[in-house]
Structure 1
Amino acid sequence: MNTDSLISTYRAAGQGQVFAFWESLDATARAELAAQAAEVDLAEIERLNRTLVFKAAGGGANLDGLAPAPCILLPEHGGDAAQWAAATARGEAALRAGRVAAFTVAGGQGTRLGYDGPKGTFAVTPLKAKTLFQVFAEKIKASGLRYGRPLHWFIMTSHANHAQTEVFFAENRHFGLDPGRVHFFRQGRMPAVGYDGKILLETPGTLALSPDGHGGSLRALHRSGALDLMQSEGVDTLSYFQVDNPLVRCVDPAFIGFHLGAGAEMSSKMVPKAYPEEKVGHFCLQDGKIVVVEYSDMPLSMQRETNPDRTLRYGAGSIAIHVIDREFARRLAVGGEDVALPFHRADKKIATIDAAGQPVKPTAANGVKFEMFVFDAIPFARNSIVIETARADDFSPVKNADGLDSPRTSREDQMRQFARWLQGAGVPVATDATGLPQARIEVSPLFGYDASTFAERWQALPVKPAVVEGLYLE
């Protein structure tokens, strides 16, 4: 669409204010504004204004008929060990066949950590200070080596960190991975609107744009051509995880095997909630479908309900680890309103400009941002399962500079895991009551990325390390 047609389309949609300062912009600024405006689906904005903006905020989630979701439990919690073994074998066969790709949502910056850069470039390991991206790269490489098929890795960046991320990987030689199998693509963006439904400008020549949420990852996969690439490569299963969790098993054969064995289109991992008010979503069953109810949408009285054995009734916590069928992602990305992920309204303080083009820094919410959540895809799946995972082996995110879910707590959780592996292999490792070792230790995923692969490699060492303090294994 040429510029004149673009401006006419905006005016016809009642959004002509986007080009209010057009005549005062130079050629470069005009090109940038036109490119941003061309990203916007005006029909989508009109629908979101009608369904979200012009209706009162809030109202709460629909909790009618809610019940706890069924979950496949770990063997140590009553699950069927034979079923888990069969699922592992099925997942390993899929990995050997090259059917699986890793998919990381990595659009965030390290702002909350006090770090200036893409979050994936933040150092997280206890001895070597490896970055999140390096940890994942080594896990993905280790899996490819183990199953004889190198994996494709799809990484969703944002407009804010895309270039930095690509440069970081190039400078680090993609951490030993084949660059042709590491694919970067940008997350989609959505314009913010005022309470009158008008698209806001951040400056006279730029829209007030923000990422469309982790749910936007599915249509970003489609729009970038990633799904077509997967299809051409024989990949039909995506292992989805977020960039802030160094403990995550990037490709878990048992999880993949359960998903494939159930003929599921989207599957999820859960951990039992640590306490009733823990700020994680809840896996629930509603109208025969698995759904995730956010902690902010579930009354505390429900969060505190218990079973006869005193475990939490709604105790299955969502940790943003999924397996997704490729064609399910495509169906959601290209479908109409009846099969598309819903957007959510977020009232925000949005930096904008006034009628004279002067900056406005609001002190209260002055508009609405739109975002999608990936877990909203689950009810659209023709089949979906939830499996339990051990928090200590799969979930220790780095979200905050201090306190819970901080770099310190994550490093300590990593060392607890390494200590358990060593103890399981018969190495005496002194720990405190929480399992934190007194010695500083780190294990590269290239040595072992779970208890069984670590044990195999340890037993094969011709000479075992004599000193645990400062131990690094690779």
Structure 2
Amino acid sequence: MASEQDVRARLQRAGQEHLLRFWAELAPESRAALLAELALLEPEALREHCRRAAEACARPHGPLPGLAERLRPLPAERVGRASRSDPETRRRWEEEGFRQIALNKVAVLLLAGGQGTRLGVTYPKGMYRVGLPSGKTLYQLQAERIRRVEQLAGERHGTCCTVPWYVMTSEFTLGPTAEFFREHDFFHLDPANVVMFEQRLLPAVTFDGKVILERKDKVAMAPDGNGGLYCALEDHKILEDMERRGVEFVHVYCVDNILVRLADPVFIGFCVLQGADCGAKVVEKAYPEEPVGVVCQVDGVPQVVEYSEISPDTAQLRASDGGLLYNAGNICNHFFTRGFLKAVTREFEPLLKPHVAVKKVPYVDEEGNLIKPLKPNGIKMEKFVFDVFRFAKNFVAFEVLREEEFSPLKNAEPADRDSPRTSRQALLAQHYRWALQAGARFLDAHGAWPPELPGLPPNGDPPAICEISPLVSYSGEVRAACPYLGLFWSQVFNTTWGEVAAWVETAQWDQWFKVAENFPRYGMGWGEASRGLCRTWEGMGMRQPRSEPSVGPDRILWGPRGGRTLASPTSLTLATLAPFSGQVRPERDRRVSCWPRVLSVVLGGLAVCVCSWPWKPLCPHPSLTPGRPGIVPGDCGSLVWPEGAVASQKVGTWPLLPARLQGLEVYLQGREFQSPFILDEDQARELLQPQES
């Protein structure tokens, strides 16, 4: 340990000798703690830190001179828009995102080092409850979204995948966060996939450049901003850990956004297909003076310009379509490749300039009394995570709807914006919209339907309180929209998903999906849908049987053509459409009730039994042997294969199918619910009970 004399000499070189002014009053253990803290401060770096803080604070605030001439909006070709893109483009982005997640190439990184002083709490923001009916915290909502997106990606691609969760904390938030996660069993995530690490701290400084003592034996320290991420990645070898796991793409976000979509496959897919090394989600500014940074170009380089740096005249400028010219509001939701982060940590981080944050910092006065100031008295120097945008070789922005993806929690009640109340209302309004889109109806306290409104109130609770667990729905998906048959065939033919994807792509697989999108609720009859399916199968070189034999749990349809003889059009339509659309229910549609409930097929020596509703877990069946079809009595709801067949080793996440394959429509369409209503996993299973009886 450094001696008192050594530390005094170091402080003198830094111009901060006052930090030992209470030395004579301290007990031995307090002296040791203070010496240990001060020994970590390099004299030259400390002197420079204090000088830059005082100079930055002294500079005049307001719009930067000459900025308007250097400012330009991002080029249109570098901006994607979730709500304004055609469905096929959006589907392509989503599919690519899910593919990367299924390949274990995507991680999420949470910025959770800040203190919740504005929120008025002494614990990390992620532990905060905004008053949801379920009582869930921000941490729990985010953990469940990770679990859900892992499940969705795994089901689409027949894999068991992991999205590692990296959590950047600080000295103030690490201990409480780690303990909270342990108390809640890591919200059923594998603890090995939750990696917590600390960012650095910097001394808080007075307006005249003196380091603040918060106690007689302790320096007032503060996290170095969310831009401290890059030093922390290097300090704790996080990028090396990502490399060992095979992670190539990182989704970085702030803890306080209750609507954040972790590892958003649409955003990930857009960035990957654009070849981006760096990307940012943005929302359209609500009004010209809204206090959010603007993602734009300065001298042709992508940057985030703070709202205070833009003049009112520039903020009011309009584009040709009538919208704000500089309308891309930054929401601290970013995409980085691991390669780009590596370049930043090793090359560009020293070039980042710290920003001034004027704060209320508790301190001890000259008499040693603790003072809690009523107005800002100190400077905290921070780096911002978005300051690296200018180093990107291929930067993109992705505009999303504010009401779907952005509602931050920053201020204590009764603030009008960014408060627990506004965060809660944003999430409940979102879930209410999802429920209505899925066909649900709500009853008020008197059992009556609430009046239909042209839109939800901008401020206030929705007409009915409905909370949907992230474990049931990730982004409000109404209908099941993933290619379950692709996964099904990959299991049956004992191939990888990539092989199946290439196979069906050449056979114009999408033709069938276009048919399926129109059946039968949208005006297409079963016969026409069946014929469309037959044409698709024939395009893949598969032979149809000449007649349709009876089908049942004790009958197997099969043929000799290398496992590619399929059952009849109607049976195939039944097996295909039921899991794909989530709309076929015998009790609701009499056209289905006369159909056989079970389709059994032998493909490549593997006996497969597909029930129209619901899907049940896979199980090996001892009565079947490779190459020999057999009768499977009574196994109406399972996919079965010969015991010992290779396919049995590739089941992945199939046992999760009963609870996961469906969209919200399966649970909510045509049903009435009393407000408040929580749709969690248990409730979802109960709603499916009539179908299983």
Task: Tell me how far apart the structure 2 counterparts of residues 466 and 336 of structure 1 sit (CA, whole Å).
Answer: 57
* Contact 1:269–1:320 (CA under 8 A) maintained in structure 2: yes
- Specify the alignment match of 2:455 in structure 1: 434
Q: Structure 1 residue 437: deviation in Å?
A: 3.8
Show CA shifts across 1:249-282 (max 9, x none). Answer: 1111121122223332321011111111212111
- Specify the alignment match of 1:117 in structure 2: 123
Give the alignment partner of residue 434 of structure 2, picking from 421, 430, 435: 421
Q: Structure 1 residue 422: deviation in Å?
A: 2.1
Which residue identity is paired with 2:433?
Answer: R
- Specify the alignment match of 2:59 in structure 1: 57
Q: Structure 1 residue 448: deviation in Å?
A: 0.5
- Specify the alignment match of 2:72 in structure 1: 67
Report which stretch shifted further, 436-445 or 94-103: 436-445
Task: Tell me how far apart the structure 1 counterparts of residues 372 and 74 of structure 2 sit (CA, whole Å).
Answer: 44
Tell whether 2:383 aligns with 1:383.
no
Task: Tell me how far apart the structure 1 counterparts of residues 669 and 435 of structure 2 sit (CA, whole Å).
Answer: 15
Which residue identity is paired with 1:294?
Answer: E
Which residue identity is paired with 1:74?
Answer: R
- Specify the alignment match of 2:476 in structure 1: 451
* Contact 1:448–1:454 (CA under 8 A) maintained in structure 2: no
Tell whether 2:304 aligns with 1:292.
yes
Q: 1:33-432 counterparts in 2 under 5 A?
A: 33-54=34-55, 56-58=58-60, 60=62, 61=64, 63=67, 64-70=69-75, 72-74=79-81, 76-77=83-84, 79=85, 81-124=87-130, 126-147=132-153, 148-335=160-347, 339-354=350-365, 357=368, 359=370, 367-400=378-411, 401-402=413-414, 403-428=416-441, 432=453
Q: Structure 1 residue 38: deviation in Å?
A: 3.8
Q: Structure 1 residue 291: deviation in Å?
A: 0.9
Using a 3 Å threshold, how does the CA distance of structure 1 residues 457 and 309 change in structure 2: closer, same or farther? closer
Task: Tell me how far apart the structure 2 counterparts of residues 425 and 462 of structure 1 sit (CA, whole Å).
Answer: 6
* Contact 2:441–2:673 (CA under 8 A) maintained in structure 1: no
Task: Tell me how far apart the structure 1 counterparts of residues 404 and 272 of structure 2 sit (CA, whole Å).
Answer: 22
> Which ranges of structure 2 fall in alignment gaps of 5 or more residues?
154-159, 443-449, 481-661, 681-693
Tell whether 2:28 aligns with 1:27.
yes
Task: Tell me how far apart the structure 2 counterparts of residues 420 and 54 of structure 1 sit (CA, whole Å).
Answer: 50
Task: Tell me how far apart the structure 2 counterparts of residues 32 and 133 of structure 1 sit (CA, whole Å).
Answer: 33
Q: Structure 1 residue 81: deviation in Å?
A: 4.5
Task: Tell me how far apart the structure 2 counterparts of residues 168 and 365 of structure 1 sit (CA, whole Å).
Answer: 31
Q: Structure 1 residue 139: deviation in Å?
A: 0.3
Show CA shifts across 1:8-66 (max 9, x none). Answer: 43333333433344454333222322332244344333334454524632355462410
Using a 3 Å threshold, how does the CA distance of structure 1 residues 433 and 116 change in structure 2: closer, same or farther? farther
* Contact 1:447–1:454 (CA under 8 A) maintained in structure 2: no
- Specify the alignment match of 2:2 in structure 1: 2
- Specify the alignment match of 2:527 in structure 1: none
* Contact 2:53–2:381 (CA under 8 A) maintained in structure 1: no
* Contact 1:40–1:190 (CA under 8 A) maintained in structure 2: no
Which residue identity is paired with 1:293?
Answer: V
Q: CA RMSD in A?
A: 2.8
Which residue identity is paired with 1:152?
Answer: P
Q: Structure 1 residue 128: deviation in Å?
A: 0.7
Q: Does the residue aligned with 1:127 lie in a helix, a strand or coil?
A: coil
Q: Sequence identity, in percent?
A: 36
Show CA shifts across 1:113-154 (max 9, x none). Answer: 344422111113631121101100100111122223122111
Task: Tell me how far apart the structure 1 counterparts of residues 8 and 345 of structure 2 sit (CA, whole Å).
Answer: 27
Report which stretch shifted further, 190-199 or 390-399: 190-199
> Which ranges of structure 1 fall in alignment gaps of 5 or more residues?
none
- Specify the alignment match of 2:679 in structure 1: 473
* Contact 1:126–1:440 (CA under 8 A) maintained in structure 2: no
Q: Structure 1 residue 236: deviation in Å?
A: 2.5
Q: Does the residue aligned with 1:28 lie in a helix, a strand or coil?
A: helix
Greater Rg over alpha carbons, structure = 2
Task: Tell me how far apart the structure 2 counterparts of residues 258 and 151 of structure 1 sit (CA, whole Å).
Answer: 18
Using a 3 Å threshold, how does the CA distance of structure 1 residues 453 and 425 change in structure 2: closer, same or farther? closer
Aligned residues: 472
Which residue identity is paired with 1:212?
Answer: D
TM-score by length of 2: 0.63
Higher relative contact order (CA 8 A, sep 6+): 1
